[in-house]
Amino acid sequence: MKAASCPARYLHFLLCNGQSKSTAPAAAQTAIYESVVDIPLSNWYGLIPPSLSYLRYDYLAALEAAFGEEMEFRYVLFSENEQVIGFAYFQIFRVGGDQLEEFTETKGPQSFFQKIGYNLAKFIEGQILRPHHRLLLSGNAFLSGAYGYYFHPNIAAQDAHHRLMQAIDSLCRSEAHVFGTLVKDLPVASDHHQPFLNNRFHGFEVEPNMNLALDPSWHTMDDYLNAMHSKYRQRARSAYKKSRPLNRVELSLTEILAREERLYELYCEVLKPDRFNLKTISKTYFSALKRQLGDRFYVQGYFLNGEIVAFSSMIDCGEMHEAHFIGYETARNHEYKLYQRMLYDFVEAAIKGKAESLALGRTAMAIKSTVGATAEPLSLYLRMKSPFLNRLIRPLLNQVTVEDWVPRNPFKVEKELV
């Protein structure tokens, strides 16, 4: 329940025990909010730069609108001498059994030690899946990328991580039924990792984020295609040819609302083989984003003989465009090159929007590399609340492996990762 009369809880970082205080301290202070609407907008917009679209008020308000009944959110503002110097974002939700399948599934004949590992995994799964047990996530379950916290550039990294850890520890103590904390999608090539390892988090690598750096000389789709080797240019032409029977239409809010059930069906159809989604979207997700983001959020419908057979969505983040959720009829994907056509349409939209880069997310790395995307390796950090379970989880995380794939370079001149 949100308490309108007392929207924020306060922590004083100078206290060793980290207990909540009912009054705001004078120097270093942290305010924890349960709803985005309770945060003073002047504090927010004074800190978060426009380029961090996924930490902006409108996007986070859309998530609350879409998922307020099935997950909770915590917004943390860090202040010093009454000046806001940092922000952290958390999601709290129950983890379903499907999300743990990667740790507990059996793969062929098992040795004695493999059977021990399997039984250990099932034991931990049973602890996690107890009724009402929930995960505290630093970041965003619906995006690939480090969207869990931001501090002003003038704040020393050591101070920022110290305050973030104290906020995480406080939330773990105060939030009911939290079994562990997951810090999501930190780039491997960064200096953010050691503070988590020093605080009993276990790191493991996941599939990379795929990013395309857009050449400033690409003003049209023809410019982009002409920069490719002939093999990849012909592949693109073939995809356009096979998808010619499709009619692509940008959907308005009214049209999204009218087709919410169908959009959700198509999304679920491509979601089935993907085991790495912590949380699936709700049926109202696309309409909630459209209401809040307006023209910055696009949903494209692909129609065949008047029937929608696929859709794609994209968020305009200014210098970066983010390819968001998609869906399509898998039975028609090969014949009409639905997925490949959507990738090229993402590129075209980013070029028209004069973006500097296009984020294509994780999964399907090989085919994304054929349109020019390169890999940004990512790490996650997990800590169980129970010290006993936290010691047991390490061998299971070692089983998480990144799919082997061969990156392609479609361009005549090699491009670098953004």
* pLDDT averaged per 10 residues, the chain (length 418): 45 36 56 91 82 88 86 93 92 68 45 46 58 86 90 92 94 90 88 89 91 96 96 96 97 97 95 64 92 94 97 93 95 96 98 96 92 94 90 80 88 64
Calculate the CA dihedral of residues 122, 127, 130, 135 and round it to 10 degrees: -110
Residue 72 half-sphere exposure, CB side, CA atoms within 13 Å? Answer: 17
Angle (CA) 248 253 258, round 5°:
80
**Is the dihedral angle over the CA atoms 231, 234, 236, 242 positive or is it negative?**
negative
Q: How many other CB atoms are there within 10 angstroms of residue 17's CB atom?
A: 5
Residue 15: per-residue pLDDT: 30
Q: How many other CB atoms are there within 10 angstroms of residue 26's CB atom?
A: 10
Distance CA 243, CA 266 (A): 18
Residue 164: per-residue pLDDT: 95
Domains and CATH numbers, the chain: 1-94+132-207+377-406 (3.40.630.30), 215-355 (3.40.630.30)
Reduced to 3 states (helix: H, G, I; strand: E, B; else coil), residue 173 is: helix
Go through the chain and tell me how many residues it has. 418
Residue 294: per-residue pLDDT: 94
The pair of three-digit structure tokens given for residue 223, joined into one six-digit string: 């410019």
Distance CA 76, CA 74 (A): 7
Cα of 305 vs its chain's centroid, Å = 34
Residue 118: per-residue pLDDT: 52
Q: Do 55 and 49 meet the contact criterion of CB atoms below 8 Å apart?
A: no
- Residue environment code for 388-412, b if the CB has 16+ CB neighbours within 10 A, otherwise e: ebbebbeebeeeeeeeeeeebebee
Calculate the CA dihedral of residues 204, 211, 332, 288 and round it to 10 degrees: 80
**122, 251, 258, 282 from 288: Cα distances, Å:** 37, 14, 13, 10
Distance CA 205, CA 187 (A): 10
Contacts of 356 (CB under 8 A, 6+ apart): 213, 214, 319, 320, 418
Backbone angles phi, psi at 187, to 5 degrees: -55, 135
Q: How many other CB atoms are there within 10 angstroms of residue 137's CB atom?
A: 24
Residue 255: per-residue pLDDT: 98
Residue 104: per-residue pLDDT: 41
Q: Do 318 and 357 meet the contact criterion of CB atoms below 8 Å apart?
A: no
What letter would DSSP give residue 100?
G
**85, 208, 382, 399 from 402: Cα distances, Å:** 36, 8, 17, 10
Angle (CA) 7 130 135, round 5°:
40
